[in-house]
Amino acid sequence: MKHRLWTTLTLAAGSALMALSATAQDASPEAAPAPEAAAAPAAEAAAAAAPALPAHATALKLDSGDTAWMLMSTALVLLMTIPGLALFYAGMVRKKNILATAAQSFAITAIVTVLWAVIGYSIAFTNGGDNNAYVGGLDRLFLHGMGSGVAHGLAGTIPESVFMTFQMTFAIITPALICGAFADRMKFSALVMFMTLWLLIVYAPVAHWVWAGGFLGSMGVLDFAGGTVVHFNAGVAGLVCSLVLGPRLGHGEEDMSGHNLLYALIGASLLWVGWFGF
């Protein structure tokens, strides 16, 4: 009797376990989507919490070919200043001024690199709001918010950092071009002060006027290879500097022909090559 009772209880317990197992298996497919359902609100919350892009920026649609070419062009344009312009101007001055003249191009490169990252790029290529017709804003002050997945609206297939660096090489060579107008006639300390102010007060706003949605660009002004922002801008500045400073001491009395035309030839050749990226 007891043996039959234990057998009956064992069979009942086994049946109950099998029923529970089948119920769990039937319920498991419905429970599987739970993590996805929970992840969807989390993704929406993360997207809502992500900072909005500034007016000048857009989401990056990376093109590796465009990016590689822009990096190469950046190197070529930088080559035009150091050592291209440095050698060209050094070869065109008297022997005693070779080192000082070459050092001007290298000093300008160092100064502009820092200023461009701190504030120059921001006031040249961001949206200035109500003042956008004349100057950019401070959205990229110290390059704030420049992430890897962000592009500038003018170049949506390359990272904004690459666009910024490419534009920096133009900001470097433009003031360096002016140096030829006051060769032998300006102290180094005065050069540093002048170039700092000129970059922020003249170059950056003019670049914004033409290239970044300013009033000249809105009027349909076209700039071919920096004809306005770089060459016209530097030419006017050089003319003003030469008129203010006057002729060199000893002009017309001493021989002021270039000391080393080979330096000038090498510099001109580097400028020629650099034009492929300009």
Distance of CA 22 to the CA centre of its chain: 63
Q: Which of 56-60, 118-122, 177-181, 254-258 has the lowest mean pLDDT?
A: 254-258
Q: How far is CA 64 from the centre of its chain?
A: 17
Residue range 229-233: mean pLDDT, rounded: 96
**Contact criterion met (CB below 8 Å) for 230 and 210:** no
**Residue-wise pLDDT tens digits, 254-277:** 778 888 999 999 999 999 999 999
Higher pLDDT, 104 or 7: 104
b/e map of 83-96 (b: 16 or more CB within 10 Å)?
Answer: bbbbbbbbbbbbee
Supply 61's token pair.
Answer: 């649609």
Of the two residues 55 and 165, the one the predictor is more confident about is 165
Which amino acid would we find at residue 159?
Answer: P
Residue 31 has pLDDT above 70, yes or no: no
Sequence-distant (≥ 6) Cβ neighbours of residue 89 within 8 angstroms: 101, 102, 104, 105, 179, 180, 183, 267
Domain 58-277, CATH number (from 3.90.1640.30, 3.40.630.30, 3.30.30.10, 1.10.3430.10): 1.10.3430.10
Token readout for 174 is 């433009």
Tell me the domain boundaries of the chain. Answer: 2-48, 58-277
pLDDT of 6 strictly over 50:
no
Residue 151: CA count within 13 A, CB half-sphere: 15
The DSSP secondary structure of 108-169, one letter per residue, reads HHHHHHHHIIIIIHHHHHS--GGGTTT---STTGGGTT--TTEEETTBTTS-HHHHHHHHHH
pLDDT of residue 30: 46
3-state SS, residue 59:
strand
pLDDT of residue 51: 64
In the predicted structure, residue 79 carries a pLDDT above the cut 80: yes
Give tens-digit pLDDT for 168-206.
Answer: 999 999 999 999 998 888 999 999 999 999 999 999 999
| Calpha distance 240→237 (Å, rounded) | 5
Closest CA to 163 of 97, 115, 212, 108: 212
pTM (predicted TM-score): 0.81
Mean per-residue pLDDT, 47-76:
86
